[in-house]
Amino acid sequence: MNKAGNKVSEVFPYLRVKGAPAAIAFYKDVFGARERFRLTEPDGRIGHIELDLGSIVLMISEEYPEYGILGPTPGATGMAIHLHVDNADALAALAVAAGATMVREPADQFYGERSCLIRDPFGHEWMLGHEIEKVTPEEMQRRFTAICK
């Protein structure tokens, strides 16, 4: 609850992409997203689409430069979406085969996850990971402190 008495009830990642049809196909083929619905302009530009992706709804729109709505620039994005999956290595290989770029190779991490970072062909970054051990927050902090020295 915030100071105005409002609470956040849901969060929807909303990606802006240049080439929305290709991005939608990538997210369906690689991540198994399922289309809920879409709004398409008469000229074919996708104004809005909702995809079921695991337990969330991923929203996507084509770029609208006339409104300042732009996708990431090459090599620069301000966020990553973290997907917990059964096998991060296998999903990373599938994503790379479908055109993603490996940013950080799969590796075992101090926080009990095997994870990697990919950049999809549309500039968005995705952390792919699966649990390899249960780690308490206290142990995670101890390990994090140790690697920061």
Domain layout of the chain by residue ranges: 1-71, 72-149
Q: 104-115, pLDDT tens digit by residue?
A: 999 999 999 999
Residue 148 pLDDT: 82
DSSP conformational letter for 133: S
What does the alpha-carbon distance between residue 143 and residue 81 come to, in Å, rounded to a whole number? Answer: 24
pLDDT higher than threshold 80 for residue 6: no
CATH no. of 1-71 = 3.10.180.10
Residue 126 pLDDT: 93
- Level-2 CATH architecture, domain 72-149: Roll (3.10)
* Average pLDDT estimate for 84-110: 95
Output the pTM of the full model.
0.83
Q: 106-142, pLDDT tens digit by residue?
A: 999 999 999 999 999 999 999 999 999 999 999 988 9
Length of the chain: 149
Q: 52-85, pLDDT tens digit by residue?
A: 999 999 999 999 999 888 888 877 787 889 999 9
Q: Are the C-beta atoms of 91 and 85 separated by less than 8 Å? A: yes
What does the alpha-carbon distance between residue 42 and residue 134 come to, in Å, rounded to a whole number? Answer: 51
Residue 69 pLDDT: 87
pLDDT higher than threshold 80 for residue 25: yes
Contacts of 17 (CB under 8 A, 6+ apart): 23, 60, 61, 62, 63, 71, 122, 123, 124
CA dist list (Å): 13 to 26, 49, 81, 120, 128: 16, 12, 8, 15, 16
Where do we find the tokens 């970072």? 117
pLDDT higher than threshold 80 for residue 3: no
